[in-house]
Structure 1
């Protein structure tokens, strides 16, 4: 265990949380910017008959909601701003997607050569450059090309996902094993409290001072975080074996020695689930779980344009409204998801059933948001949202039942990479789709999210049938599973790199749960009797923090 102050780690984590809240407002800024520069009618005309009818309908029946909020009632202006904003975010997501996917894996794989402190500094420096470019764009009204440049640089540094993953490993290595659960719970509670206060305060601050100060604050905090890393994390890598990388595991005083990084190890990540030594039913269970999680992640990515959806009629939300909604989302997600998990496990509900139930809530939440006409309906969706993210939190613990201990690191790295790919490209695609369908059917992406949730629901039903028929000797013993701790995207601190994910209703904001698995083990003989740390992913890149 390295001699690193836990207070320094907590400070970095708190700063990282506030920075994410500040930078998540960029979507609002972009929308307001396009709304201000909307071209006049001589330069922007509506030629489609359906579009013309739709705009008239919006102007007469919906945009009256916007008048008392000092927001333009011009349907054409709102539609154009929606399209332009979503189009910009489509290209920025696309530009950053490939670099962030590659660098997330590379930085994790080559941590022994670089050291965790360097790996932590690289995305912080990338974020600093991105913030500087944002300020230059705002003050000098630079072209959209600079937005793409900023996104590419941030993606090339690994973005917030690498920060969250590295902080998780640092916390794990600097905490005695018997105290890790409580420490992660405290840090999760701290993140939730900070996020709730920050998002609520930011909403009112935007109404008072605008957006510019927020990015100056974010830049200042990012520089402060870099100074803290340089000053207080000097001895971070002194105890680490040079062959141990970020995606491996260690105990309190021992370092797990892994093979040197090479292309063979790289390929093992993508072939780990294909094993002739594993029974057919185990392979089926693994792939069903993997595909269910993949479709859940894709459905979550459908909510990427949600910010623009809420800024549009009939809601026409202001920064205050979004701040209140985000703060309430943070609190309800953290509390209700934990409460729901404890209730379900108390009654002996097994993991696969919990996942199936969560997809029902996902389906209902997506439909409620899609057909909402009033603010209270959106706030009601938060109650459903709190119980909709269990697939992401339980995926790795479910897969561990059918994996040998030496396979877990590679398998969970594969899950991380798949989630990253789906999230980044899914975010880009659904922003693009929203930009091209907002004229005709602005809730199309939400309807797609509801439809996609049916697929993992069916897959979990199939998994339930398979596991019920699986003989006891097909299940790995508890000792074999617990012989090596693991890290995955579901064991990392949540993060967000996309503005829309600040208010995505399909995932819990941040929850760290110590699940009483013994009760589920009694109900399901296929469950390994292990205590889990359930942390909401990122998808998104995608939760808030």
Structure 2
């Protein structure tokens, strides 16, 4: 019997086994949080070090300061020099991020799917090892003040392991192995995303003061030590969660690639393809709006009219991420009592668009500090869409599902920096907030996609048969 795209969506009807959650499984939190913390701090270190090098090469007298904000005469040659520094910094940040995200796209399209066969631990050990090499190299680059081209080489080391995209896939597959589809999985994914944002909050808060008082080398070396601790925990103590009963057979790279796109085109998923497509596109729009937001906000805040130092940039980053993190953890339960997952995602897009519009027209510190208020629910779109998609998917295809999602996310990791930095460089001289209106447009597109999903798809809450295994692993 054929199945229509308009038929009710079944969560999944294949029996699968999950492990009982024990203390060792919570090691996922320090393993992931240490990575996120170190990644954010090194991001701010590298980004601001790039601008420092460019200003030094331009032989500006105050090369150690954050910007040329003390210059008010727009016809002054030095004023134009500082504008050129902003543009060149945006371009080098673009090169830096593309050198990682382009190779990461190809890796994330394949590697996470193999975790359905070889287990989830490979999604932590491989990227952590390559990122540790990158951090060591970046520390040497900063200490010896090597040419900027070496930063691109270091970033590519991270990219060939899939970067943090692979780690995200590992985290969500790890959670899917341990939780029941539906409300429990939604709660765990949302709380994980909230804790992730809180770790980013602490990192953003610390990074500004760390850079201001210690320069660039000490923070970068500290990030290397932090990542080494996460790498050691992952190798020595992190348990495997994939059950043999849920594992798939060894398949070729080509077949593995095919598995990641089957959700959106294969007849096997007839009746669900439209839902998968709308949801993954909603993730795409949300990531295009948010994945490079911190980088473009930093450039925005370094320039006129704000001219913020490192401490204020860190405080703002901390405020926005803390608001989103606490909202995810504290509000998900009451929101779930009132709204469905898709309606929460729709609301998230709406309020996030408002935060971007406010940021675009902010001209005072107060207006900018109000941005985290409408951004409170801004990241829930991604959590809700991932949870719905995971609940629709069988246990032996969770790795392939998150491979398709992380591949889409890695596309955003390449496209968002390219778009954001190019638009910012082109509009900074006449309207430096224009890029935030573009990002608000992505939120509007995601809002529309989810409305279409809500109107055309129905969700039948038939829970699958689940066998729980009591295990020490």
Report the TM range for the smaller structure's normalisation. 0.7 to 0.9
The Cα shift of 1:56 comes to: 12
Counterpart CA distance in 2 for 1:402 and 1:189 is: 23
Greater alpha carbon shift after TM alignment, 210-219 vs 396-405: 396-405
Quick one: structure 1 residues 157 and 269, their matched pair in 2 at CA, closer, same or farther if it must change by over 3 Å? Answer: closer
Separation (CA, whole Å) in 2 of partners of 1:20 and 1:56? 29
CA 1:170 to 1:128, structure 2 compared with 1: closer, same or farther past 3 Å? same
Counterpart for residue 317 of structure 2: 326
Give the Å deviation of 1:418. Answer: 1.6
Q: 1:368 aligned to 358, 363, 368, which one?
A: 358
Equivalent positions of 1:103-252 (< 5 A) are: 103-111=107-115, 116-117=120-121, 119-167=123-171, 169=173, 194-232=199-237, 236=239, 250=243
Q: Give yes or no for the alignment of 1:380 onto 2:400.
A: no
CA contact (8 A) 2:185 2:387 kept: no
Describe the shift of the 1:23–1:56 C-alpha distance in structure 2 as closer, same or farther (beyond 3 A). closer
What are structure 1's unaligned runs of at least 5 residues?
42-54, 62-71, 241-248, 486-545
Match of 2:65 in 1: none
Is the CA contact 1:302–1:445 (under 8 Å) kept in the aligned structure 2? no
Determine the structure 2 residue equivalent to 1:38: 58
Superposition deviation, residue 157 in structure 1: 2.1
Matched with 2:43 is 24
Root-mean-square deviation over aligned CA pairs? 3.9
The answer as to 2:21 corresponding to 1:15 is: no
Q: Deviations over 1:187-224 (max 9, x none)?
A: 66765555444432332232222221101111222333
Once the two structures are TM-superposed, the CA of residue 299 in structure 1 deviates from its matched residue by 2.4
Segments of structure 2 that go 5 or more residues without pairing to the other structure are 1-18, 62-67, 469-473
| CA apart distance, 1:413 | 3.2
**Among candidates 310, 313, 317, match of residue 308 of structure 2:** 317
Instruction: Give the aligned partner of residue 519 of structure 1.
Output: none
Distance, in Å, in 1 between the alignment partners of 2:430 and 2:397 is 48
Offset of residue 171 of structure 1 = 6.7
Q: Does 1:288 align with 2:288?
A: no
Give the corresponding residue for 2:463.
479
Conserved in 1, the CA contact under 8 Å of 2:172 and 2:402?
no
1:445 is paired with a residue of what secondary structure? helix
User: Which TM-score applies when normalising by structure 1?
Assistant: 0.69
Output aligned runs, 1:247-286, within 5 Å: 250=243, 255-262=245-252, 263-276=254-267, 282-286=272-276
> Is the contact made by 1:301 and 1:430 (CA closer than 8 Å) also made in structure 2?
no
* CA distance in structure 2 between the aligned counterparts of 1:460 and 1:109, rounded to whole angstroms: 27
Q: Deviations over 1:313-336 (max 9, x none)?
A: 111111110221122223211223
Q: Structure 2 CA distance, aligned partners of 1:409 and 1:126?
A: 21
2:424 matched to 1:434?
Answer: yes
Residues 195 and 409 (structure 1 numbering): CA distance in 2 closer, same or farther, change over 3 Å?
closer
Give matches, 1:290-305, under 5 Å: 290-301=280-291, 303=293, 304-305=295-296
Displacement of 1:343 after TM fit?
4.3
Distance 1:183 1:465 in 2: 27
| Equivalent position of 1:422 in the other structure | 412
Which secondary structure does the structure 1 equivalent of 2:265 belong to?
A: coil
Following the alignment from structure 2 to structure 1, what is the Cα–Cα distance between the partners of residues 83 and 144? Answer: 26
Q: 2:12 corresponds to which residue?
A: none
Q: How many Å separate the matches in 2 of 1:189 and 1:452?
A: 22
Counterpart Cα distance in 2 of 1:203 and 1:179: 37
Measured in 1, the distance between the counterparts of 2:219 and 2:192 equals: 24
The answer to whether the Cα contact below 8 Å between 2:286 and 2:446 also exists between their aligned partners in 1 is yes
Which moves more between the two structures, 24-33 or 82-91? 24-33
